[in-house]
Amino acid sequence: MPASQTEAAAVATAEDANSGMAAPPHPLVEFWGYFTSSRGAVIGLVVICVLAILAIFADVIAPLAPDEQFRDSFLVPPAWVEGGSMRFILGTDDIGRDILSRIIHGARVSMSIGTLVVTVSLALGIALGLIAGYARGVTEVIIMRMMDIMLALPSLLLAIVIVAILGPSLVNAAMAVVIVAMPHYVRLTRAAVITEMSKDYVTASRVNGAGPFRLMIVQVLPNCMAPLIVQATLGFSTAVLDLAALGFLGMGAQPPTPEWGTMLANALQFIQRAWWVVSFPGLAILVTVLAFNLMGDGLRDALDPKLKR
Amino acid sequence: MLRFFLTKVGLIVPTFIGVTLLAFALIRLVPGDPVELLAGERGIDPERHAAMRAELGLDKPLLVQYGIYISNVLQGDLGRSIVTKEPVLNEFLTLFPATIELSVCAIIIAMLVGLPVGILAAVRRGSIFDYASMGVSLTGYSMPIFWWALLLILTFSVNLGWTPVSGRVSALYWFDTVTGFMLIDSFLSGEEGAFGSAVRHLILPSIALGTIPMAVIARMTRSSMLEVMHEDYIRTARAKGLPRFRIIVLHALRNALIPVITVIGLAVGVLFAGAILTETIFAWPGVGKWLVESVRRRDYPVLQGGVLLVASVVMLVNLTVDLLYGLINPRIRHAR
Amino acid sequence: MLAANQNKSGNNNGKPRPYQKTQIEIGSSNMRLSHRKFGLSAVALGALALSAAMAASAQAKTLVYCSEGSPEGFTPSLYTAGTTFDASSRQIFNRLVEFERGTTKVVPALAESWSVSDDGLSYTFKLRKGVSFHKTKGFTPSREFNADDVIFSFERQRVESHPYHKVSGGSYEYFQAMDMPKLIKSVDKVDSHTVRFVLNMPEAPFIANMAMDFASIHSAEYADQMMKAGTPDAFDQNPVGTGPFQMVAYQKDAFIRYQAHPGYWGGKAPLDKLVFAITPDASVRFAKLKAGECHVMPYPNPADLAAMKADSSINVMEQEGLNVGYLAFNTEKAPYTDKKVRQALNMAINKQAIIEAVFQGAGSPAKNPIPPTMWSYNDNVKDYAYDPVKAKQLLAEAGHPNGFKTDIWAMPVQRPYNPNARRMAELIQADFAKVGVDAKIVTYEWGEYLKRSRKGEHQTVLLGWTGDNGDPDNFMYVLLSCAAADGANRARWCHKPFDDLLKKAKQTTDAAARTKYYEEAQMIFKEEAPWFTVAHSVVFMPMSKKVSNYKIDPFGGHPFYGVDLN
């Protein structure tokens, strides 16, 4: 069984040339095969697609505006409960806003901020990791020590500290989560770079006179993408979770932004009267996080078939 | 061995210095004038303003401020809370037992459930139980625990009335704080029902906090067990016809648990992040809630000191786990 | 260390437990039980525990108060939060004079009587005899209360070289804020039970100031002992006072325990024990009140009030708070230099809508700068009626037929006088738009907000005030005088006739004359309209029906002396 995707590809071409028996599958096809063999991963992917559609077309899909207050409909229960109405399928909150619409718009907030956080932290992490792995020496020590410091603090606490400095807002919370997530990417990239650098193809390119920048971006990076992709997928779920936690503590998105965690911030006060205010935003978070974790697991198995038994 | 020990300890020093820098920078980077905040609506005259800045040491050059800060920290002086004017270290020490008690109970619950589930799932690999338990544990792993805690309160406290909503023990009991650990104190007090009350108060928060570690332990135990079961010595044992139960418990489990225990040890950071949320929801008088409150009240000395203390505790625990792991597993020790 | 000290005092003050031995046995059997059937038995056990606890509390009257937060500490003069005063000055300490329970009237307390010199500069207090301090683990008083205690309590705050001045952080914000360092020239002991305060200038509200929390009287003997023992911090952590309750134990964020002071000079409190169960969340407090885990709770969620009123076991008391929320127009900036503009905007805002939307019924419309529970409140003042048409007309007269652009500053925090400033600003913005005024909502981080608004960077600003001593001077002089025009007076309004009245009222001690001055000042205030007065919040106190004789404190405090349990 091939050891990694790239080697699989290499082996495949070699076999192609040698035998000429039934053509082995293209690496992407093979990957897809592995990926879809996990039912969980497929479910995860489907849910993520649905969430993405909700996020993009929130304005069209949501039955009502997320911030519109219906002054005559405070704390209306969901449609299927006595006293509920089809107008507000999941009920309304304390100032008469439609919970379903807020959750749909919340998907937009979480998905877009999640994407932003993952992209930025991935980019920063890769950059720092490449530098550390390529430069070695003092630069590496300084970068890695900084990452150690960041990892010494529980992630949520570090995020809280950052928000305390920057002030509570969605953008600042996103920035905090970027910083908290970064060390993982740095470590992964550095480790991968160091492994790759000792390989023959890198030495060959060096001999051929490839500059360090070209070497890093064109040669080394593509070869250490697999663990990064997995980490990024799992990182997405962490980002959504951390953003929601900050929102819940009043340190993330500020009302009236329909962010799921923020929607739960005052939920404790309704716990005795309006379970629907408490239940649905959390369920949305859980489903999203679970979907990304399922897909991350599937990706890991597909990209690293060695672990698959 | 000594070399391994020294390297590990040596690595922690720069990290610690880094954390002090972070904590030091924190109070200076915060927007707004701390003195102005103290004065509130009433305001403050410029004279008094300058005097208070001097009191807080904000009038000296940064490098001097850091020097003073470090020397104070090394003497155990982490500053005083702006709000209570109590030394930060004292506040931390009075609240820390509550956090330890909650965390330990959470970990115990997580292990009591996670280990057997993981083992059983590995042994019955591919069974419905395996799929179901792994599905549940992935759900647990994905759980936003602040919501999970709310659901637990909604179900067990509000709807069923089985457990109290918040706090550590009913206010009607009147006993002394001896150790700071409510289970021990209530037991020692001999007051009728006090221990039961303490237990009932502890159940929901422990479950909420224990959920994620529980999921991690179950998943980790399962994969670790699966790995070990493929090792040669297990095959040998099987070939020798030893009873299945004996193989699992005596041979597989012992070796499978090593990585699991490391994971548990390293989960302290995760546990603490969870404690921040759990304590906030259950009004549990611990360190996590204290730090969140300090942000809300803009009590920056507390946040500064608390961050340093928490980071130190996490670093120490991680170091201990590292060292213990090195002791158990010589391969790690010589790896570097 | 804090915890250790508390434990010691706890041991001493706890009553002897005659059945301790049996109780231990019961306790350990509980433990065995709970080990065997961890999950299931806990429930049964809980029921058992609760009933047992209830039985125990029947013997000694224990009132549980679900307080909203941990106190900052126990020496009132060091702090400014109401939560702290509830836990300290209002239970543990007395002052020379105090406010009669449930009113803003000043009555004798540790001083039996007092006299004021004709020039208004010298106040002589005759001290009460036979007043005992608390006996705690750390301190056994050897003498009764006398003049030394009064001298100590004030000199600590006043004299920078005083040995206790720097202890426990040593900042006395309230003392400073009430201008005491400038006001008090000296505090003299005339004899063992007579104390004289000499002032630098006449200040009629001085007597009311002496009833404030920072003026609480501590034991000088205890202070000396702690100083000699080298633990001056303990003086502030384990308080000793003369008040109706003495502190037994405190666990941060969890509880404070008090027991009645048996030798209290006003007679022992009807309650034997008092527990503050610290419960920060309002709905949790409500849940505990319903479950009988506490008897009294402060600060309910407005949304829970209906359910509370419907609950047959709960009694909800209510009263207007000693506060005012306002929108101040910066009278130094155009167009607010023009009285007509200010009046017009007063007519443009729909006050009733704000009361309903922002206060959700927990507020009453304000027309004066002082609340109606305060003496000299002028009920003859007529508020501007909501009338956008007339407002627009008035604006046109003032030369703004098409309105103008302005800003509204909204506080970032929740205060009793304004539960949601952002929302209030949005409503005002909409009202302004109707008369052609285009307003932008501005907000800053709280410290920054206070600072910038004090400097007058705003055009209009939302803010408010909570009273300290029940004296109108404490509202009007602090917030509207010329002296404060570059500070707390956010309207930066300096109007000579108004200011003269305030000064006259400050200088006479004749209550009737002062009342007249203040009533007149309120008329001028309304006419000149430097503020749009928004609301006074209404304080709700839900409590168990078992609680009797509770009185709402107009200052927002929660004193429990005199309260009983049936």
What is the interface pTM, i.e. ipTM, of the complex?
Answer: 0.86
Top-confidence residue, B39 or B276: B276
- The confidence band for A12, taking pLDDT boundaries of 50, 70 and 90, is very low
Percent of chain C with pLDDT over 70: 90
Please write the tens of the pLDDT for every residue from C388-412: 999 999 999 999 999 999 999 998 7
CB contact under 8 A, A94 and C304: no
- How far does chain B reach from its first CA to its final CA, in angstroms? 12
C106-108 and C97-99 strand pairing:
antiparallel
For residue A305, CA distances in Å to A22, A28, A58, B329 come to 21, 13, 38, 28
**Topology of the domain covering A33-307:** MetI-like fold (1.10.3720)
Residue holding tokens 């800003």? C407
* B143 Cβ under 8 Å from any chain A Cβ: yes
The count of CB pairs under 8 A between chains A and C is 19
Please write the tens of the pLDDT for every residue from C322-375: 899 999 999 999 899 999 999 999 999 999 989 888 887 788 999 999 999 888
- The confidence band for A125, taking pLDDT boundaries of 50, 70 and 90, is very high
**Confidence (pLDDT) at A22:** 56
CB contact under 8 A, C283 and A94: no
Is the pLDDT score of B40 beyond 70?
Answer: no
* A273 Cβ under 8 Å from any chain C Cβ: yes
- The confidence band for A215, taking pLDDT boundaries of 50, 70 and 90, is confident
> What six digits make up the tokens of C173?
């914000």
Q: Check: CB of residue A271 under 8 Å from CB of residue A279.
A: no
A282–chain C nearest CA distance, Å: 19
Which residue does chain A place closest to C360, by CA atoms? A95
* Chains touching chain C, criterion 3+ CB pairs below 8 Å: A, B
Range from A194-198, B154-158, C32-36, C200-204 that averages highest in pLDDT: C200-204
Please write the tens of the pLDDT for every residue from A150-159: 887 888 888 9
CB contact under 8 A, C307 and A273: yes
**Cα–Cα distance for residue pair C284/A266, rounded to 1 Å:** 12
CB contact under 8 A, B295 and A163: yes
Work out the average pLDDT over C61-78: 90
Partners of residue B184 in chain C, C-beta under 8 Å? none
Of the candidate ranges A230-244, A260-274, B239-253, C24-38, the one whose mean pLDDT is the lowest: C24-38
β-pair partners for C539: C319
Q: Which of C31, C52, C254 sits opposite B187 (nearest CB)?
A: C31
CB contact under 8 A, C282 and A270: no
C126–chain B nearest CA distance, Å: 32
Rg (Cα) of chain C, in Å, rounded?
26
Is the pLDDT score of C121 beyond 90?
Answer: yes
- Average model confidence (pLDDT) for chain A? 83
β-pair partners for C460: C329, C408
Best residue in B125, B131, B150, B155 to probe A by mutation, most A CBs within 10 Å? B150
**Confidence (pLDDT) at B301:** 85
For residue A191, CA distances in Å to A5, A184, B8, B103 come to 18, 11, 19, 33
Please write the tens of the pLDDT for every residue from C490-506: 999 999 999 999 999 98
Is the pLDDT score of A256 beyond 80?
Answer: no
Which residue does chain A place closest to B17, by CA atoms? A149
For residue A257, CA distances in Å to A107, A113, A254, C480 come to 12, 13, 6, 38
Please write the tens of the pLDDT for every residue from C216-267: 999 999 999 999 999 998 999 899 999 999 999 998 888 899 999 999 999 9
| Cβ under 8 Å to C: B residues 302-321 | none
**Cα–Cα distance for residue pair B148/B207, rounded to 1 Å:** 10
Partners of residue C172 in chain B, C-beta under 8 Å? none
CB contact under 8 A, C49 and B285: no
C62-67 and C273-278 strand pairing:
parallel
Is the pLDDT score of C6 beyond 50?
Answer: no
* B151 Cβ under 8 Å from any chain A Cβ: yes
Classify residue B162 by its DSSP letter. -
**Confidence (pLDDT) at C2:** 34
Is the pLDDT score of B204 beyond 90?
Answer: yes
Domain segments of chain A as ranges: 33-307
CB contact under 8 A, A282 and B147: yes
CB contact under 8 A, A278 and B151: yes
Q: Is C451 exposed, middle or buried (0-12, 13-18, 19+ CB in 10 A)?
A: buried
Q: Which of B138, B226, B272 sits opposite A157 (nearest CB)?
A: B272
Helices (H), C435-554: 446-455, 473-480, 496-507, 511-528
Classify residue A92 by its DSSP letter. B
- The confidence band for C59, taking pLDDT boundaries of 50, 70 and 90, is low
* B269 Cβ under 8 Å from any chain A Cβ: yes
C405-409 and C255-260 strand pairing:
unpaired
For chain A, the 3-state helix, strand and coil shares in percent, each to the nearest 5, are 75, 0, 25
**C226 phi, psi to nearest 5 deg:** -65, -35
pTM exceeds 0.80, yes or no: no
C407–chain A nearest CA distance, Å: 21
CB contact under 8 A, B177 and C3: yes
The DSSP H or E segment spanning A280 is: helix A275-303
Q: Check: CB of residue A36 under 8 Å from CB of residue A42.
A: yes
β-pair partners for C364: C536
Best residue in C68, C279, C283 to probe A by mutation, most A CBs within 10 Å? C283
Give the three-class secondary structure for C104. Answer: coil
Work out the average pLDDT over A130-152: 86
Is the pLDDT score of C565 beyond 70?
Answer: yes
**Confidence (pLDDT) at C521:** 96
**A87 phi, psi to nearest 5 deg:** -65, -40
Q: Which of C71, C251, C451 sits opposite B285 (nearest CB)?
A: C251
C23: Cα within 13 Å, side-chain hemisphere: 20
Which residue does chain B place closest to A285, by CA atoms? B144
> Crossing angle for the helix pair A225-248 and A155-166, nearest 10 degrees?
60
> What six digits make up the tokens of C528?
């000149």
The residues near C188 (Cβ < 8 Å, ≥ 6 apart) are: C195, C196, C197, C198
- Average model confidence (pLDDT) for chain C? 85
**Cα–Cα distance for residue pair C419/C537, rounded to 1 Å:** 9
> What six digits make up the tokens of A37?
């063999």
Of the candidate ranges A255-259, C82-86, C121-125, C401-405, the one whose mean pLDDT is the lowest: A255-259
CB contact under 8 A, C445 and A273: no
